[in-house]
A and B are shown apart, each in its own frame.
Chain A
Amino acid sequence: MSTTGMLAAAGGSTPSIPAPHIEYGQLSPMLVVFGAAVAGILVEAFVPRRYRHWTQVSLALAGLIGSFVAVVVLAAQGYGSTKVDLLAMESVALDGPALFLQGVILLAAVVAVLTYAERKLEPKAGGLPADAFAAQAAATPGGEQERAALRAGFATSEVFPLTMFAVGGMLLFPAANDLLTMFVALEVFSLPLYLLCALARRRRLLSQEAAVKYFLLGAFASAFFLFGTALLYGYAGSVKLGDISDVISGKAMTTPALLSTTQNDALLLIGLAMLAVGLLFKVGAVPFHSWIPDVYQGAPTPVTGFMAAATKVAAFGAFLRLFYVAFPGLRLDWRPVLWGVAILTMVVGAVLAVTQQDVKRLLAYSSIAHAGFILTGVIATNKQGLSSVLFYLLSYSFVTLGAFAVVTLVRDSKGEATHLSSWAGLGRRSPLVAAVFALFLLAFAGIPLTSGFTGKFAVFQAAAAGGATPLVVVGVLSSAVAAFFYIRVIVLMFFSDPKPGGPTVAIPSAFTATAIGAGVLVTLGLGLLPQYFLDLASKAALFVR
């Protein structure tokens, strides 16, 4: 596998570029989603305004479900368990982790699209039902143009194709088998997310600020990733993960043209660290986490839920592939560094969440702490670690989506009431909603009989088996700190007196109800009967090389 199209081109021996061989069937999960995204753009152009919402919702759901079916079909053909493949000139991997995570991303995206489609929570604007997104994204907040757009009942239904592009990128990210494809995927899913963050209907300025921050910092992190890619190419003479691994282990010789730089360990190590920075930024690990609270708070809540769930899955997928496929030979170099990052992430996430007063920021810090917990599984560097991370991502994404979906329901006259003080006594007024949120919080805290417990137990067990016992101790202690603030919210909801004039719980349409229901179902299902999914994750835990 050392001589492939790109190296041949670099050698310059043949003038003609051979047409790449594309396995459309095996790539269909991504192709369907991208196809739906493109179709969505066409819908924006050609379908009359009043049909757009429903067309977009149906199209997005159809695309996602079609793609999920493709994933299932591939899995049923034995991909990921009995056979693996490299696609599109070895730039895309088709193996267990890729398929598993693509499935998780697609399911999370379905749930997210359901929350996007909700139009019963916001009061009608201009006589038309309104969703969580800005009437006209380009209008100045508070300006005349915005008021006109509101009066006219405009809606930014582009969120659906944008989300589909993001999903497409996310599907590619954990499957990318070379650094350049990985980078392209990173950008493909990041750019739509930057836009989506800016589209909140309420608190427009906060939303736009969040988007700009996310974009600036995201670009900064992407730059690190790209630098890392360049340095590694300089070291190994290839951007393919398998080739890099071979060069590191000394199995493959390098190209003579690059003799002056190859096997320079400084290039390798600095490149490795920079790639790690790019990915650690996306998963929200400390000290690359500072964007998360601001962006999670400012973004429209359905988008926050989607980002928190799907981005994390995709980024950890790429993280795993990079460190398990390209750098297993450097384990001794990167493990201590990741130890430090994981410890910092768990501790800082948990400690900072203690004093948060805004429920979205609270969940943001909780997501940081969870990134730390997942990192402990990554650091295990064994099969168990891999499967436990896969399982954790599955369980975590549904809890997160559900929790943010509940946040959209608790509202006052200014939209969502996210300040914790207004959640006091919610359990008295809306016992069902409060109970569901309490369930999600318990799952976050890792209380038994919820999926959170099973996931946490699995990663900690794997980490302990992988010789990272101190990490597990820190993890358990951080969980104890984290349990404090989760349970504080439960106490607030059930044991405090409701404030007069506090928020009300809006009755959602079937969309959000289904999304929350799916969250509850998965949370309880993976908590009570986790074995099937643990087995599935275990079967999927093998990377193609």
Chain B
Amino acid sequence: MNSLIPLLVAAPLAGAALLLLGGRALDRFGHWLATALAALSFGFGLALFSDMLGREAEHRAITKHLFSWIPVNGFQADISFRLDQLSMTFVLLITGVGTLIHLYSVGYMAHDERRRRFFAYLNLFLAAMLLLVVADNYLLLYFGWEGVGLASYLLIGFWQHKPSAATAAKKAFIVNRVGDMGLSIAIMLMFVEFGSFSFEPILGSAGTVGGAAQASEGKLTAIGLMLLLAACGKSAQVPLQSWLGDAMEGPTPVSALIHAATMVTAGVYLITRSSAIFDLAPDAQTAVVVVGAVTLLFGAIVGCAKDDIKKALAGSTMSQIGYMVLAAGLGPIGYAFAIMHLVTHGFFKAGLFLGAGSVMHGMNDEVDMRHYGGLRKHMPVTFVTFGLGYLAIIGFPGLSGFFSKDKIIEAAFAKGGTEGWILGLCALVGAAVTAFYMTRVMLLTFFGEKRWQPDADGNAPHPHESPKTMTIPMVLLAFGSVFAGGLFAYNGSFLTWLEPVTGHSEGDSPLAPLVVTLLTTACMLAGVAVSYLMYGRSAVPVVPPVGSPLTRAARRDLLQDDFNHAVLVRPGSALTAALVYFDSRGLDGFVNGLAATIGGISGRLRRVQNGFVRSYALSMFGGTLVLVATTLLMRSV
């Protein structure tokens, strides 16, 4: 069974290679090939899953050593894989949701002339993401980490003819580079400290003690903070959050798969995978929860102000991942719930994005929600699936989000002490705001009067339901949005499943679980009510009102770009300008001066070459004299 693990990665990788190298011959059926390979990978995942279920909980982790890439004494870089319950969860999520989104893209990208390339990149993404989660060492993980970054870059900028898309792709790439630096430094630190890249010698496993257990807290804190930096970049957490909103320039299936369901959760995976390090570095853990709490509020506030449906959802993604990071920072109290929320979020957020894509599909690619309205009658399937996703994300009792988010809020309170209260209240406020902005999205899009207008070319949109290839994935994801949470929470099944990998402790909550649940539900209902009062009762203006300073700031992503520009770009530009000045005046001046000197000497010397044979003979004669004289002189010295 172990040998199936490499095939998980190989199937989509082969698809990417075939589609990229195959040329036009594959234009007709390339998208189906890509979808089939994604499904094949999902099939492998299911086979491995059933095999894993057949074993005792302690023996579920399996490894597969493929080959040694650099087998040098003291430096072992292996291509080897590890599949345990944590990886398995991700594999199923990635391949499952990935296959559905491949299917959806068949319809969504039907009219794009570069469709084959799009599917090649999607397959490339799947391969890299799977590699990231099944790698048995940090070096291979890094390979996958960079691979998903590449795929993300390529797909955000897929419509590169639009300057905004090209810029967004570059922005995502550059911001991620900061995070990637963190990961590479963390890996180097680990190698220096533990002499290995592999998970087991560093993190330990059931029965063995890893190097982390013996390392000093300071070093673990350093490694932890660098890993957190990496997670911030990939998962769009404050302060490296600025790229995610712009990344919505990519095609909507990409936003759903990469920038909602899977890639952006890689940071949570990294933190959870490295739990052995974080558990022994409390300061790094504190940094993690702070980042999570700040981001969950940040994203939620941004989500309230956006009129672009995808950007509103992007703010929401940021906020929900904030919840996951918060939970992961809580240590063994929260790891399992972080992953649980990650999976349920994967279902409902992917569903919401696909719904948004479906709406755009029917509305001539209009993204401004103020130009929607009353669409429920025109797109019934989209309305129902989107509505179920909506109920799931706000945590409506009984749906997926309810179970997973409620557990995280409980865990936040269970952290104990003042810290627990602060984190818990943040999470509660976040739940209320989430309900507010998601209700806003729902109301603006599907309810109220129709507000759409002809576009600049005079084409009035004719909202219509999307084709089957698009609605079927939406329906399937809606099932996940509704039932996954309940399934996971039933009898603590998800907790039991993950516990061998992440460990679990109950913590010490000052509030009874039932109280927390009631509070959460109350907050949620309050958010819905406020939103309804603001957007459901009165007509929505097509042109956005000026709004309060906070609203205006939130529309500009809480001034993140202005902040980056003032704090990073401007000093950076000044430094670059100074270096360029030094380079051009100092170094280049020297080099150019040297070149000019040589040129000048050359020009002078050329005059000696005057073409007169008598001068040549004279110079030879002089040379001979010098030669003879020097030879004689050498003897006498």
Contacts and interface: CB of A to CB of B under 8 A. Distances in A.
Interface of A: 212-213, 216-217, 220-221, 224, 265-266, 269-270, 272-274, 276-277, 281, 286-288, 290-291, 293-294, 332-334, 336-337, 340-341, 348, 351-355, 481, 484
Contacts of A270: 628, 631-632
A269 B624 contact: no
B70 interface: no
A274 B628 contact: yes
Interface in B578-637: 595, 598-599, 601-603, 605-606, 608-609, 611, 613, 615-617, 619-620, 622-624, 626-628, 630-632, 634-635
A536 to B, nearest CB: 34
A128 B330 CA distance: 95
Given A290-B609, A337-B630, A340-B630, A281 B620 contact: yes
A336 B609 contact: no
Question: For the complex, would chain A's binding face be called helix, strand, loop or mixed by DSSP majority?
Answer: helix
A354 B630 contact: no
A220 B628 contact: no
A278 to B, nearest CB: 10
Contact of A273 (B601, B615, B631): B631
A484 B609 contact: no
A419 to B, nearest CB: 16
A475 B628 CA distance: 24
Given A213-B616, A287-B622, A351 B632 contact: no
Given A274-B628, A337-B627, A217 B613 contact: yes
B634 A273 contact: no
B623 A287 contact: yes
A336 B630 contact: yes
A420 to B, nearest CB: 14
A462 B263 CA distance: 58
Contacts of B615: 290
Contacts, number: 85
Contact of B616 (A273, A290, A348, A352): A290
B620 A287 contact: yes
Contacts of A273: 624, 627-628, 631
Contacts of A287: 619-620, 622-623, 626
Contacts of B608: 290
Given A216-B617, A290-B619, A333-B635, 13 more contacts: A220-B617, A224-B624, A277-B623, A277-B624, A288-B620, A288-B623, A290-B609, A291-B616, A294-B611, A351-B605, A352-B602, A354-B599, A355-B599
A354 B630 CA distance: 30
Given A212-B613, A217-B613, A351 B598 contact: yes
A221 B619 CA distance: 12
Nearest to A351: B602
Contact of A355 (B603, B623, B624): B603
Contacts of A213: 613, 616
Given A277-B624, A355-B599, A265 B635 contact: yes
Contacts of A484: 595
Contacts of A281: 620
A221 B623 CA distance: 11
Contacts of A355: 599, 602-603, 606
The 5 closest A-B pairs by CB, nearest first: A287-B623, A290-B616, A273-B628, A355-B602, A354-B602
Nearest to A333: B634
24 contacts: A213-B616, A216-B617, A224-B624, A270-B628, A270-B632, A273-B631, A274-B628, A277-B620, A277-B623, A277-B624, A287-B620, A288-B623, A290-B619, A294-B609, A332-B634, A333-B631, A336-B630, A337-B634, A340-B630, A348-B605, A352-B602, A352-B605, A355-B602, A481-B598
B625 to A, nearest CB: 9
Contacts of A221: 620
Contacts of A354: 598-599, 602
Contacts of B609: 290, 293-294, 352
Nearest to A485: B602
A363 B599 CA distance: 17
B101 to A, nearest CB: 45
A79 to B, nearest CB: 35
Interface in B120-151: none
Nearest to B630: A337
Nearest to B620: A288
Contacts of B631: 269-270, 272-273, 333-334, 337
A214 to B, nearest CB: 9
Contacts of A224: 624
Contacts of A220: 617, 620
Nearest to B614: A216
Contacts of B630: 336-337, 340
B617 A217 contact: yes
Nearest to A220: B617
Contacts of B602: 351-355
A231 B611 CA distance: 32
A393 B160 CA distance: 54
